[in-house]
Each structure stands twice: as structure tokens, then as C-alpha cells.
Structure 1
């Protein structure tokens, strides 16, 4: 039986709120389902609340509101935070990505999250409503 996890996109006000909402959708109030892009990908691979057989759907309602909240401005905010603690070998890449985000170009956090779900799960797992 397919399990459906619902994200109310109108409640996504930024990346931190997204982590709270996906954690609660999968694991209940106060639940954890990643707090970073890599840990989110790991959680999607199984063992963190989703069915062992991988038979689940993430229904992302009002995803256009989330796309706005997780757009270039929020992407730049995340990259600024990363830059302060980045290894010197990664600084140039992060600075380039930050310049692109500030200019309103390049992939957004929303794009990255959607890409991670599509990459880590089977077709049809993510339903954008």
C-alpha cells in the first residue's frame, strides 16, 4: 500500500521551515527527515521513516508558493552561510554560485530539492500540485 506524505507548500517560508514540514510529514510532530541537502538525499534512500519497500509518494501541494520561498534569495542566503565555513578548495565554486543566485540565475533550492527527490526515488514519487 502506497503511503502519501503531504507538504503544504504555502507553509514553506524558507529552507528551515521546509525541513520542519518534511520531517513532520514523514515522522510526525518534531520529526526528522534531513536538515541539509545531503542528509535529505540519504533519508530518501530509506530507513528514516519511509516504507522499507520504497512505496511512498510525496505530494507537494501549492508547490509554486514553495518555489517562491525557496527561490534565488533563499538560495543566496544558504550559500552565504556555507561560504563562511567552506573549505578553501570549495570557496571559489560557492562564490560563483552565490553570484549567480544574487543575479537571479541558476538553480534554486526548490530546483535542488525537486532534483534530489527525483534522483533518489522512483518515477512518480513526487507529485507537484
Structure 2
């Protein structure tokens, strides 16, 4: 089974996560999603991961990433989402943003790990 390693010490922002995940799976400059929806698509297969034997995502120093992708980075991300989301979604996104600013609600780290665990069960190894 192929193992893709993420160096959590190099993840300071969500953009860092996208870059490092792409490089882990597809080499320098590689792509493996640049937003939550495309990340889900990539986990379904066909974007560099082995189709037959499965794979493992080993997230080393994940505690550093957990802090970096905490509520402040989640709020920063949601500010961008709010600026471009459909008007029917604005109230929900604004509430999520308000929660993140208060240090409440889900964080990007939690969202990413949940996506991995739900879309590719058994593939996440936190170290």
C-alpha cells in the first residue's frame, strides 16, 4: 500500500496544506485539490492515488497542523468563502465565520481529517 507523507511542520495555512498534499501524491508542483470540494473529488481516485491497492495518508507532526489550521485560519478561509458565496448561503457562512472568530465550531484541521476519514476510510494515520 502506498503511503503519502504530509509534514505537518510545514503547514501554516490552508494553502500550504493544498501544496504539500499535491506534492505528496503527485510530486513537485503536483495537484490534489485546491479547495474542499476538489479535495473530496481527488480522494475518490484518478488524481494520482493508486486505484487498486489503496493508500495511506501519514500526517506527521499533525499537532502543529492542528494549531495552524485552527480557528484563526478557519476564520480567514471563511472570510474568502463569504466574499464569493451565493447569496442564499451568506447567512450560514456568516454564522460559521462568527463562530470561528469566537474560537468555536469546526476548524479546518477537523474538516480535513473528517473528509479524509469519510471519503477514504482507513487511510489517515496521524503521527
Q: Does 1:52 align with 2:51?
A: yes
Task: List gaps (5 residues or longer) in structure 2.
Answer: none
- Pairing 1:15-26 to 2, within 5 Å after superposition: 15-26=14-25
Q: Is contact 1:7-1:21 (8 Å) kept?
A: yes
CA RMSD of superposed structures (Å): 0.7
Cα distance change of structure 1 residues 54 and 99 upon mapping to structure 2, 3 Å threshold: farther
Question: Aligned residue for 2:12?
Answer: 13
In the alignment of these two chains, the number of paired residues is 127
Runs of 4+ with >3 A deviation: none
Q: Quote the Cα distance in structure 2 between the aligned partners of 1:64 and 1:28.
A: 24
Q: Quote the Cα distance in structure 1 between the aligned partners of 2:91 and 2:7.
A: 36
Q: Does 1:92 align with 2:112?
A: no
**1:122 offset after TM fit, Å?**
2.2
Task: List gaps (5 residues or longer) in structure 1.
Answer: none
Q: Quote the Cα distance in structure 2 between the aligned partners of 1:66 and 1:87.
A: 30
Q: Quote the Cα distance in structure 2 between the aligned partners of 1:115 and 1:13.
A: 19
